[in-house]
Structure 1
Amino acid sequence: MKVLKFLSKSTTTQMVIATIGGMVFGVLAGAWAGNLKFIGDIFIRLIQMSIVLLVMTSVISAIGEMAREKEASKLGLKMGMNTFKWILFFTFIAAGLGYFMAVLIRPGEGMSTVETLAVEAPEALGFQETLTNFVSTNIFQAMATADMIPIIIFSVLFGVGLNILVKNTGSTLILDGIKEVNAITLNVIQVVMKVAPIGVFCLLANVAGTTGLQIIFPMIQYLGILLVGVILMMVFMALVLAARCQVNPLLLPKKFVDMSIMALTTTSSAITFPTALKDCIEKFGVRRDVANFTMSVGMTMGSAGAAMCYVVMIVFMQQSAGVQLAPLELLIGIGLAVMLTLGTITVPGSAAVVATFLGTSLGLPLESIALLIGVDWFAGMFRTFLNVNNDVFVSVLVANSIDAFDRDIYNEKKAA
């Protein structure tokens, strides 16, 4: 009874069982497992139906909320600019690294033999026509067809207008209403994610029944790319820190131990935040007020690990479908992946929602996201590890730029 009670409460355990069970059942049942595909399709549609509302309310409320944010101006423009500079720098480096590794290793090719994933590549549009189509003449039509980029552009403009309204009138009635709709939408997705194990089981059973055990290799390759990418990014950030701050990078591993263990075991940046903030001050020598600001912003926006993961998702879906995206479409996809890390769209069950968002935005088929969902707990370990450690690197670099970095604490010559 205790085991059953544990299984009923542990979503992670349910997902692991669904992933393994779906693959085993598909291999044993063969082509018959395709009869379960419609259940998985329903699960995907349940996510898709909330994407438009989630994106719009997230972007609008994030931009509108800036009218009430005064913390950055209190702590100084220079610190704020340096924080965003380093966050964006590491995020784009991680996204680029994820792209090149995915292109090199090609994890999605193992899925390309699945007949249901084979689609014709969309006809490439010219540069001017592509940019023109970013702006919709009818936002409701864009919403009805889930044309995500025009929706985002409209949401940004609406958010700017709302920001101006809040500043001029002080009224937050509309902003609060949009934030409540966003919260409701998140609740809807949380309810949908309760049936995620069933959806994953059915989707993987269908794929495994078609391809057999070869689907295991794309999953291992996908996780392997993230693992190697995280290691390379940690080395790169350590070298940047050593060069900019003139410190010994060999002291870094033991400083990261506590927060890294917390990140790997909880897969949550929010839960790891208190440990990371404490270590940032006491082990790395960042002044408390600077750490409070940079680490808080980093927890929301500093997601190099997520950027790398999302870009690998795009390449995985592209390769599994045998679709060649135009260079401009790839740049758009990478830009969307980076945007998803900047605090405007934080959702439960991120793998399912993010993969659906990116696939819908780029016109890619969504069948292959079952594999991404199935191993997302392991991918989440790598994402969170890099996200949290990246925040500390950013904090030290910012502190060094405004003379708020104590090298004696970093070198363990004195206590904070």
Structure 2
Amino acid sequence: MELELFTTYGTGTWQEQFHQTVSFHEDQGTENQVVNLYPEVKFETLEGFGGAITDAAAYVYSLMNETQKRQVITTYFSPDRMKYGLVRIHMDSCDFSTEMYQAMSEETDTELKSFSFARTEKYIIPMLEDAQKAAGKPLKIMLSPWSPPAFMKTNGQRTYGGSLKPEFRKMWAEYICRYIIEFEKRGYQVQRISLQNEPKAVQTWDSCIYTAAEEKEFLRDFMYPALQSHGLEHVEIFIWDHNKERVYERICEIVDDSTKDMVTGIAFHWYSGDHFEALELVRNQFPDKKMIISESCIEYSKFEEADVIHGALRLSHEIIGDLNHGMTAFYDWNLLLDEQGGPNHVGNYCHAPFLYDRNEKKLMPQLLQQHFEHFSHYIESGAVRIGYSKYTEQIDVTAYEKPDGKIVVELLNKSKDIFPVNVRIQGQVAEILLYPESITTGLIE
């Protein structure tokens, strides 16, 4: 039995990737520096990985030449590279749009005759089409609204929160259905929706507030019936779509006997910290509900723009922790941004796995992309998480059995020290070293 290793690490301003193979030998009673793998202990099945095709990402994509476009798309979506099969797309504008827009603005148009899909078709659809061709299969789309049209809201604007006016709840549900229908009639597969992106956040950009009671009522009395009336029962509904510190309370407040069959799961973001224990609570109390991370990125307002290594380590730590506590799907935020971390119509700039310098016309792959590829390339859709134990908190570990029977283990060394590890599985041991601030993928046949 052999352990094939793929490592990405770096210190300062450089990164290195290398590949090596280590042989297993019979365990002679190794006790120290051990990472145990237990393939016989199985948990949930992974759906897969993906990211967001935002208006901003798709606009930057439109500026690149064909070679650069091909590099981005094949890296993310081809079966030979990152194997992304999931895509999140915003309905109407979000902060990562070149401008604010909405598909219609006629308050009295209850039949949505003035609804226009043109703004989505301008940038998002061309990038989505290229992505699907590179994947060689239908991509599964998650649609999320940042705000209803301004006329539907209590504050009369897309920005600064506000709430959905009760008299527009039916019309808003029809509006969301219309978005689904527009994608599906163009041949795309809408797998799921969330009811509202970040329903607790009052933002300078597109935002809308829902209390748990309001979200529950909209779901039960308007959104779910609207999906049924349009024959869209196949579209999964996810609640919350906000940070993890309140994920348990939210699902408890919304899911009861009247809504449990309407809710497929709960979506969450990473911006308020780990809160892996909250996911464990959800998994234990609501074992039939899926948990997905629908958005995560390095915000320049919170993290140092130049500190790309620790940014990648933070997000890899996040992914591993979420996987180990029941997450079955991961969506990165913008797949591509410009050299500023935009465009963003309110200047809320962020990092992305690919940046594009508009002045130099240069595509700049980032360390974050290499980290994400460790997960999405090796932990394929259909992989089943298995049991493990580790000897130190300085490293993060997760492990899966792939559909072909191979075992994949992810090892993240967050420290500046070299860590020795004895990988132990089924009476066999292999000795490896984890390099400082590195991520290593191990494959066992």
Range class of TM-score, shorter chain: under 0.3
Q: Higher relative CO (CA 8 A, sep ≥ 6), structure 1 or 2?
A: 1
Looking at secondary structure, tell me which structure has more strand per residue.
2
